[in-house]
Amino acid sequence: MAGPKYQYEKRQKDLAKKKKQEEKRQRKTAKKETGAQEEGQAPPQGDGESAS
């Protein structure tokens, strides 16, 4: 009878870990891009075009 496949289990665990890290990286990148876009939509301050 064959024993447990530890290499297979380790490989699956490593793949799941890498996938989770990649998803986290993508979320952080998307969050950073969203934050940059929101700042770009804000009206510019101190532009020198004030009518004060």
Tell me the pLDDT tens digit for each residue of 4-46: 789 999 999 999 999 999 999 999 999 888 887 766 665 556 6
Sign, CA dihedral 21-22-25-31, equals negative
How far apart, in whole angstroms, are the C-alpha atoms of residue 8 and residue 12? 6
How far apart, in whole angstroms, are the C-alpha atoms of residue 14 and residue 6? 12
3-state helix, strand, coil in the chain (%, to 5): 70, 0, 30
Q: DSSP assignment, residue 5? A: -
| pTM as predicted | 0.55
